[in-house]
Amino acid sequence: MRATPIVTPGDSHSTTINRMARFAGPRTALLPAFADSDLPLLQGTLDGGGPELEDLILRHQLGPLWHHHTKAAPFAKARVKAAMVYLRQLAALQAIDDLFTRAGIVYTIIKGAATRELIYAPPALRVSADLDILVAPDQRVEAARVLMASGYKLLIKASNVSHEILLTNDLVGVDLHWDILRPGRTRVPIVDGLLTRRQRHNGLWMLSDSDALFLMLVHGAISKHVAMTGMGLHRVADIALWWQQRPVDWPVLHDRLAATGLKTAAWTTLTWVRMLSPTTFGPLVETAIDSVRPSGPRAAYLQSWLNRDLPARLAHLHAARLLAFSMFLHDRPSDAWCALKGWQAARMTSATDALVFGSLAD
């Protein structure tokens, strides 16, 4: 199995080799996410990678997936812990479904807690730190009130209160969202459509397949900056597994990306996934990548960020990363301007937003 070369125009041979070496470990850690990675390959990879590879696998929450395929002892503890956490989270989701149904709150599970139910077997192979739940903006306060009445405690982060809050009890944490991104990041409002198209799966509400993949492609780019340390390799595994296991209605998804002004964000995420995937995966996503590719100069600029993993290496320079990378993920300058205004407005109104929920604790 050969890795996908990372080559950009003007690269010297030595530069290409250096970039290949930079991503060799992450590509190796992701091997179980691809159907053509058989047991001899995985076992030989572990034997050759040693403790350094084991540490990388565990840091990126891929231990349970490796244990499922290899039964390797270094990942047994992570597998057991993931199973225990999953059972607690599943029980919490079932209870929340009952609470919200009785209260008339329309919701859908989003992100990792939903993805694992659809493409991981068993679902506990995919670690999810908390439960992400989306509700309509006009039901956000009632949803928080219902959860607090059932024993959850409210935690407010000023940086996120424009679109989400955190509620926790002794066992699980719930990120309650009323938008998938900070206000202004999408060209048009999308929450109503996401909730209208939701589907019932194993007794819980989840996004439609196209909406779930849409969220994978744009959220990792916008909120996690397509960074090795921010996005994490487990989210790359999600996209790779989804593409191999579930039908992708690309025309529908393409139209959704175009309507929201986030084709470039999707291109960046897909390019990142292809960079960390074996060559056999490339043909599966090539048509999609080509259909959302931005202009040549912008594509080259964003590619240079990915090649050097600059979003991760510059994580301490938040404002610079926002202006020099994140804003370029929007399709038009007007989209980026709206996103920047939304970010500024959210900073100014964070105290007021916090008071809306803080009053529930009184």
pLDDT in tens, the chain (362 residues): 444 444 444 454 444 545 556 799 999 999 999 999 999 999 999 999 999 999 999 999 999 999 999 999 999 999 999 999 999 999 999 999 999 999 999 999 999 999 999 999 999 999 999 999 999 999 999 999 999 999 999 998 888 888 999 999 988 999 999 999 998 999 999 999 999 999 999 999 999 999 999 999 999 999 988 988 888 999 999 999 999 999 999 999 999 999 999 999 999 999 999 999 999 999 999 999 999 999 999 999 999 999 999 999 998 998 889 999 999 999 999 999 999 998 888 888 888 888 888 777 66
Q: What is the pTM assigned to this prediction? A: 0.92
Cα torsion through 248, 254, 259, 263, rounded to 10: 110
Taking the CB of residue 141, how many other CB atoms lie within 10 A of it? Answer: 16
Please name which of 35, 146, 59, 60 lies closest in space to residue 101, comparing C-alpha atoms: 146
CB atoms within 10 A of CB 197: 13
The number of residues making up the chain comes to 362
Pairing of strands 173-177, 131-135: parallel
